Structure formats: structure tokens, C-alpha cells
Structure 1
Amino acid sequence: MSYYLLEIGTEELPASFINPAAESLKESFSKLLENKGIGFGDIQAGGTPRRLYVYIDNLNEKQDDKEEEIVGPPASVAFDENGNLTKAGRGFAKSKSLDEKSLKRVNTDRGEYLAGKRFLKGVRTDEFLQENVVSLIKSIPFQKSMRWSDKNLKFARPVHWILSVYNGDVLGFELDGIKSSDITYGHRFMSEGAIRVKDFDSYCRKLLENNVVYDFDSRKKLIEDQLNEIQSENDDLIVQTDEELLDSVANLVEKPFAVLGSFSKEFLELPDEVLITSMKNHQKY
């Protein structure tokens, strides 16, 4: 069995764009492989402000070979009065790459027709992915997209790198001048720079080592744990958890740190609803 890992490295994505884009990548790869008859195990997809990724495990190395029967013109047109193939019958066989020895009459709801079988050799999975990954990346739906520099690509934010690894090797392709590689990058300020990865395990481990919590649920839980710790250390403090806000801030950073701040009470003279709306929508706290 094989595996494939794709990461699209970008400038900071809007928080609300990340989860829908990751889900779109997951669905697109799933449909693509299913429609082509290429078996796979699990598909994981996610993202941070600086990346979107998808990982597929237990991939079949090629599409299954198959034999299919194709129905052509009516038998009255495909055969002459002596039972020999007519020009129309031979033309059908040639256009569909059918072995003339496999041609026969078949009964259908519409009457008797000419039919034949052909053997289809399964395509290699790496070659198929190589041909289709670019179109999948371009098809990710965003609320708003942009162009930058002299690029023709439209994306939510400028793309800076693409990691594409199939079975430990680079699955090469080019996206508007950006060549895929086996290189990713850690936290913008708290990392060593370029990181080479071979598989999903090393990808996850090295990102964590370079201060990127790559999984949305993990970032969200980390924030919740930090809020609970701050609350436990301050007897007069009650943290009112807002799920929508929590989801948003979990996608604003690659490694969250909760902090406790304060301001003058004179700023609390406005109605609670006004204060809370401003804090949530503008300051994100």
C-alpha cells in the first residue's frame, strides 16, 4: 500500500477559510479516487494560518485492471445478410479499440445490438495524482480569492511552497511557477526554517518540534486547557467560553498561548452586549 501527502504553504489565511478549504480538499480527493476506481484507506485534511494539508493512506499503487463490455450499433446495421461485419460494425470496433473476436450480438430492451469487450489496464496512482493535483488545488472554493505579483493563479492568499510526497519521494508538478518538493516550513518566527519530510509521521513530528500545532482540534483543546489553567489560578475569574470565538482563534495562530490581561474598569461602563461584541469581533478575546 502507498501513501500521499500534500501541503500548500501560504501567507496567513483568514481564520474562517481554513476548515472549509481543508474539508473541500478531503472531499475532492475522495471523489477523484473513487471515480477512478483507486482504492484508499483514510483521508486526513486540515490546516493552520500558513498551510493546508491532506494525507491519504493505504492507497492502491494502481487502478484495478478491468474488462468492460460496450454496446454499439443495432445488429441490423452492424452485420450484413451473411452475418459478416459491415463497415459500420468494423468502424465501431476500431473506434472503441475492441478485439473483433470479442464482437457478438446481444439482446437489449431496444432489440438486438452489436457488443464487444475491451481490456483496460489500470493507471498508476502516482501518475494519476500527478496529472490531477493542480486542478484540485485550483478548485478549492474560497469566499474571496486574489492574484498577486505576475501570477495567474487565484487563491485565498499568495502560495509560497508546495510539499508533495508519494511513498517517500517527491511527486513532482508545478503550480504557476511553484515547483513541488519534500520541504515544509515551521512557525514563522519560532522555527529553524526549511524542513525535509518523508512521510506523515515525520511531517507531524517535525512541525510540532518547530512550534506548529498542525491539527485544529489540538489547537482548540490547547487553548481551552490554558484558559482553564488561568481560571484555576485566579479565584475571582470566570471564563465564559464562546465556541464560535474559540473556533476562530484556534485558526488565527499556529501555536496558541493564552494570556491574562486587564484594563481600567471605567471602560466597562458601556452595556455588556456592546463590550462583548467589540471584544469578540474586533479584538478576538
Structure 2
Amino acid sequence: MVGLKTLIVFVNALAFTVALPNIIDTLTANNASTLVGLIDQAGLTDTLKTKGPFTIFAPTNAAIAKVPAADLQALGSDVDALKNVLLYHVVNGEIFSWDLRTGERLKSLNNHTIRIYSSAGKHYFNQALAVVEEIQASNGVIYLIDEVLNVPEGTIWDILNNPDYNLTQFANVAQHARLDSLFKTISSTKRYTVFAPMNSAFESLPKQLLNTIASSTTYGRYVIDYHIHDGTLHAASLSKDGTVSTLHTGHTITLTHDANTGEPLLNKLAHVVIQDIEAENGVVHVISHVLIPSTLAGIVG
């Protein structure tokens, strides 16, 4: 009799599993219809309907609405670029919340890294918060997220030399200080957060200080190291006052927040102008001022 009951439970469970809708239909029913439209544009509907299992980090309709209309339109007109962005939101296999640990990394279908953060029972994937977790579909698991994930734009070095970001002076100092290899290397274990001052931030420094930083390997290294954190800190990790450790041994960055806007301030001075630029070996935040460590106090005066 026990065997019969066990069989009935098994059959019922199997029927429930078979009855689950596929990923596409589940997304449509769960506030991700805009994403479904983009998936269709990219020619990925059949894959996400019939293959798997997958885990998909799905931006909600509201998340996609945050993307500037011009950017979304440009993406929609480039099928390859759109496909690349969408595949970054999908990984092979089913990943459940108990599998998620801070510091772990997932490999997306287009072979890029997605980083996991856990805090106060909440999970973040790169910069995006999971607002709904573990929606099960017949061929996978869905996490609804509040931001579109940014596909990595090459290495940190590539980003520093991208003219769109105006960070070449920081890159030049790093190269002269022989730290460029740190930014060029993709490692399975090492990731960095770089707070990179804009070119205009260097140009606003006193000329003597700027010349010293640019010409001295030692002082240049102090400055560059002071802008690097060992590990990845996305914007969500900068939401509370505190300190940020750096590669400049014994020197930390003070993290506070603007009383009017709530935006993070580094050393009560530097604003984050552009946040969460994804790299294969870390993340870059563009900042408004050069951070000067106390080891340069004698030069600053």
C-alpha cells in the first residue's frame, strides 16, 4: 500500500513538472514581456522555448525601460549586438538560491563572467538586484532583475583606453608606473575595482603635482594603487558609508554620501560620474577627481 501511495505522489509530481510552461511563456506571464520581444527580435525564442535547462537573469519591463530609448533602438537595429546582450543574461543549467554565494562567478552563454553578491538575504548579479527569485519553468529557472546587465567591454585596460570614457591620462600614468599589465591580465581568480579619474580631473591638479605623478614611477604607482580595490565592487556595494581598501598598502578610501543626492563620495570629494563599466577582469567606475594618498602629502603641501 505504501508503494502505491509513493507511486501516486511520483506520478502527480511528474505531471506537475510536465505542466510547467517554458521559459518564454513564463517570462511573458511574469512582467518580462519586453524582454520576450527582444528575444524574438534576436532569433532566440526557439532556443529558450525548447532547449535547456537554462538559468536566465531576466530584466523586468521596468528595468528595460531604464535604458535610454536611443540606446535601445540602436541595439534593436543590430541583431548581433542584441543577441550578445541577451546571451549574457543566460547560463547553462538550473541555479537555485542555495547555490548562490558571494564572490562566485557564473559563465554566460556568450562566455563572459557574471559575479554574484549576497547581502541581507538579497542576491545581486553584477549590479542588478534579483527582485523575484527561482521562478521555475519547464526548461529552466528565472530570476527577475531590476537592471539590464552590462556586457563586459574587454579588459580594464581596454576601457581605460576607450576614448568614449576620457580616461587616457590615468592609463598613461599606470603604464609609466608599470602597472598596465595588471589591467591587461584576465585571471581565473583576480578581479579588480578601478576608480578611474577622468582626464579633466588630472588637468585640474596643480601643474607641479601632475608632473611629479606623471614622471615618477614611485609616486605614479602610489596614485594608481590608491585607485584600485582588490575584488569587484559594483554600485550596490557603495550604498553605505564606510571605507574601501586599496592596493596602496595601509591606505583606504573613505566612502560617504552626498547629503542632497545620496550619491557616493570618495574621500568626501570625488563623485562617481559613470558606474559599473563591466570588464573581463573587474569593474570600472569613472570619478570626478584624482584621489591623493597621504604618501604624497609632502608634494601637495
TM class by smaller structure: under 0.3
Rg larger for: 1
TM-score, normalising length from structure 1?
A: 0.27
Higher relative CO (Cα under 8 Å, sequence separation at least 6) belongs to: 1
